[in-house]
Structure 1
Amino acid sequence: MRLLSVTVMASLLPAVPAEVVAQTRAQAVARAGTTYYVDSRAGDDAAAGTSAGTAWKSLEKVNAAELKPGDTVAVKRGSGFTGPLTLAASGTAARPITVKAYGSGALARIGGIGDDCVVVKGNHWRIGGLRASGCRWAGFQIDGDSNVLAGVQADRNIAGVFVTPSGARNTIRDSVLTGNNRMSVNDRGRDNDSGAFGVLLNGDDNVVTGNTITGSYATSSDYGTDGAAVEIFDGDRNRVTHNIARDNETFAELGATKGGTATGNLFAFNVVTSSRSRGSFLVTRGPRHVVGPVKGTVAVHNSVYLPAKDTVGWSCHDGCSSSILKLRNNVIAVGGEAGWEDGAGADEDGSVYQGRTTRFKLGPKSVVADPRFVSRTDLRLRPGSPALGRGVPLTSKWYGGRAIGEDAAGRRVTGAPDAGAYQR
């Protein structure tokens, strides 16, 4: 049988009606949604906003827009706005609403001490390409569920990112949170200062991963200085992994109101360094503390170097026990106390510690020794490090799932692991 050419075969097919083509194109556009452009310099709020040439000028136009699933807000780089940007609509899992940058230059900056800068009230947003700086409290406040902040910047706020008690299943990733160094309250009243947070988590089941968090540190009337790269208060099952933290007062501090919980939070594969005279890696509390008990905290495969004298690796106090804190396969070198526990003590193993004192019981495979980091800021391990092969094998449950079981450089953790955030 003679084969027909593609051209001949195509000519024999019935023509697709024009109205069907138009309908298909309309459906594709509907699925993609509408893109709205904002340009603080060349925009015009009287314009349509649907192209770069007809961009809006203000955030008020975005706040008032009836955004729908699949829509996008494109913000011109180099723009400057006074907040808030209020994102109240909701997308869906299949069709989130997106905020992104366009053009060239620095990320658009949203500021204004009179209000929080970016407030995410809706669900299923994908937000990137914005800088929130010098805001009333939070650079980014997340009240909704299943939102993603990726590639954002926050600085000079009380909290770079604040996930409120209603915020759940959100992700903060691959962002730069630097110099969030302001304290709220900060009066002579006792024990009521708060602030200088890179990320403050009051909600449940959130993920903080792949971020660079620096300079979370401020003067406090109550505490002298205070601040945390990541603070969890009344938040359950949050996962804090693969972050780079430098020069923060504390990497992570946990607490809960009486009757509230901060249960089952995970810290894994984080790299923590500081040149400050004071600092700590992890602070948690037992039932006798006013903001305790904090139950079920797990810290695995973190690398920490805090060389100053007034430093603590980890502290589990006011009734510490294995139900309060479990640690595995960490490398913690400090100039002060490598770790501190009271009560029955934490459940600890497979780690290397260095410090002036160690006020806790070492696990069977843990040792006190110089971990032999490459340098003060590069916490990979040199040949001959006692951390090589020191770790105990762990199932993916310890990491919060198989997807998290990679080291700080992306290598899969297998076999007899090294202690610390980096594997050979």
Structure 2
Amino acid sequence: MKSLVVALLLLPAGPLESGTAGTTYYVDSRAGDDAAAGTSAATAWKSLATLNAATLKPGDTVNLKRGGSWSETLTLAAKGSAARPIVLQPYGKGAAPKLGGQEQPCVVISGNYWRVTGIRASNCQWSGFEINGDGNELVGVAADRNIAGVHIGPGGSRNTVKDSTLAGNNRMSVDDDGGDNDSGAFGVLVNGDDNLITGNTITGSYATSKDYGFDGAAVEIFNGDRNRITHNLSRDNVTFTELGAQKGKTATGNVFAFNVVTSSRKLGSFLVTRGARHIVGPVKGTIAVHNSVYLPASKTLGWSCHDGCSPSILKLRNNVIAVGGEMGFEDGKGADEAGSVYLGRKKRFTLGPRSVVADPRFVSRTDLRLRPGSPALGRAAVLSPAWYGGAAITKDFAGKALGAAPDAGAYQR
């Protein structure tokens, strides 16, 4: 026994230090000093360049002073860990720390396991927040007046964008007369895999386009697989989601669940995806389940699965979609659809089992809970957790669990 105790005492100390606190740094754009230590509010740094040059380690915390503003790029290249992420957060009183300026990117996360909260990125060169690492979290951030509020690049996987406000990201990156190539006005643009976009409020992704008249999406997925887009509130965007993939690449297995989508715009849509005949198709295995949509204008569309639609391209379950225009469109073999309620002027798809065309009886134009007597009550099919992207997501928009006889749409009784 004595020899065992001695052996334990001689083990390296590293693993036993995992619970120790990291270093906390402070940055104040008004009263800071780059020659100071940076480790207290009284000795805060001034510039983001000084912060970018610091050697940060797992468990460290970076505090940006509220009311501060920087026209610099914040580069978060260090690597935290799942157990000890590196935290970036505000301190003090006042408005959220703001980064901006179209001459440069704002927040670029190339490292892993960062947790960024309470920061605003406004009118940046391209995106407010650029994520190219893994395991990062944006929680309660704000992004506005960008081409993309958040861009998860091709190398970004297993990241989370949560409880954030992405408003008026209404600039285009391509807007010319070249044909079918205009692009921009994204709340979130996802090029990576296995990311979670949840609990966000996304509004005003809407810009003029020479090719399309108007363009923009709350969440656009291009070349990204197995992303989960759940419990988001979408208002006044051109479309909620559009999916595509370059030839030779994929955008497979993306899930859209319990999202609430409304708009007062003259045109708009909920979901647009493509088959193999389209230049950015096929997009395989998309699932849309328990979403509530109300787009009352005449030039609106519930969903479109075109240029070679089939059940392997799109599956829809338990949605409530009311539009002033076309409820849905399919060609080819058609989508796999069931358990839903639709309302609109026309439809070009075949209703699946338990689906009906009827007034869903929403509470109001913006409150898409169901009134008594709604045909959506008790209409939904009972589904396994795989339909939602995992058991953790099987709660409605307000956090209620699904019952034995679930309701269609994003809200349960």
**TM-score by structure 2 length?**
0.95
Query: In the aligned structure 1, how far is the partner of 2:276 from the partner of 2:17?
Result: 56
Query: In the aligned structure 2, how far is the partner of 1:153 from the partner of 1:132?
Result: 6
Report what 1:127 is aligned to: 116
Matched, 1:192 2:193: no
Shift of 1:414: 2.2
Report what 1:290 is aligned to: 279
Report what 1:359 is aligned to: 348
Report what 1:79 is aligned to: 68
Query: In the aligned structure 2, how far is the partner of 1:423 from the partner of 1:322?
Result: 27
Shift of 1:189: 1.7
Matched, 1:334 2:293: no
Please list every run of 5 or more consecutive structure 2 residues that lacks an aligned counterpart in the other structure: 1-12
- Residue identity matched to 2:82: A
- Residue identity matched to 1:326: K
Query: In the aligned structure 1, how far is the partner of 2:261 from the partner of 2:105?
Result: 28
Query: In the aligned structure 1, how far is the partner of 2:159 from the partner of 2:83?
Result: 16
Aligned residues: CA RMSD: 1.3
Stretches of 4+ aligned residues off by more than 3 angstroms: 27-30
Q: What SS class does the counterpart of residue 31 from structure 1 fall into?
A: coil
Matched, 1:411 2:400: yes
**TM-score by structure 1 length?**
0.93
- Residue identity matched to 1:155: D
Query: In the aligned structure 1, how far is the partner of 2:43 from the partner of 2:238?
Result: 46
Decide which of 185, 198, 203 is 2:192's aligned counterpart.
203
Query: In the aligned structure 2, how far is the partner of 1:29 from the partner of 1:59?
Result: 28
Q: What SS class does the counterpart of residue 139 from structure 1 fall into?
A: strand
Mapping for residues 384-399 of structure 1, pairs under 5 Å: 384-399=373-388
Query: In the aligned structure 1, how far is the partner of 2:64 from the partner of 2:54?
Result: 14
Decide which of 309, 314, 334 is 1:325's aligned counterpart.
314
Matched, 1:280 2:272: no
Query: In the aligned structure 2, how far is the partner of 1:313 from the partner of 1:360?
Result: 11
Please list every run of 5 or more consecutive structure 1 residues that lacks an aligned counterpart in the other structure: 1-23
Mapping for residues 108-187 of structure 1, pairs under 5 Å: 108-187=97-176
Query: In the aligned structure 2, how far is the partner of 1:339 from the partner of 1:288?
Result: 19
Higher-Rg member (1/2): 1
Per the alignment, do residues 100 and 290 of structure 1 end up closer, same or farther by CA in structure 2, a change over 3 Å counting? Answer: same
Which one is further off, 189-198 or 155-164? 189-198
Per the alignment, do residues 88 and 364 of structure 1 end up closer, same or farther by CA in structure 2, a change over 3 Å counting? Answer: same
Query: In the aligned structure 1, how far is the partner of 2:93 from the partner of 2:114?
Result: 23
Matched, 1:42 2:42: no
- Residue identity matched to 1:38: V
Query: In the aligned structure 2, how far is the partner of 1:53 from the partner of 1:374?
Result: 52
Matched, 1:350 2:339: yes
Shift of 1:406: 0.2
Query: In the aligned structure 2, how far is the partner of 1:253 from the partner of 1:321?
Result: 17
Shift of 1:321: 0.4
Matched, 1:99 2:83: no
Cα deviation code 1:237-259 (max 9, x no counterpart): 00000000000000000000000
Cα deviation code 1:128-148 (max 9, x no counterpart): 121000001000000000000
Query: In the aligned structure 1, how far is the partner of 2:91 from the partner of 2:143?
Result: 19
Shift of 1:191: 2.1
Shift of 1:314: 0.3
Shift of 1:30: 7.8
Report what 1:421 is aligned to: 410
Query: In the aligned structure 2, how far is the partner of 1:200 from the partner of 1:300?
Result: 21
Query: In the aligned structure 2, how far is the partner of 1:122 from the partner of 1:109?
Result: 21
Query: In the aligned structure 2, how far is the partner of 1:221 from the partner of 1:268?
Result: 32
- Residue identity matched to 1:194: S
Report what 2:227 is aligned to: 238
Which one is further off, 230-239 or 86-95? 86-95
Query: In the aligned structure 2, how far is the partner of 1:29 from the partner of 1:295?
Result: 42
Query: In the aligned structure 2, how far is the partner of 1:236 from the partner of 1:400?
Result: 12
- Residue identity matched to 1:279: G
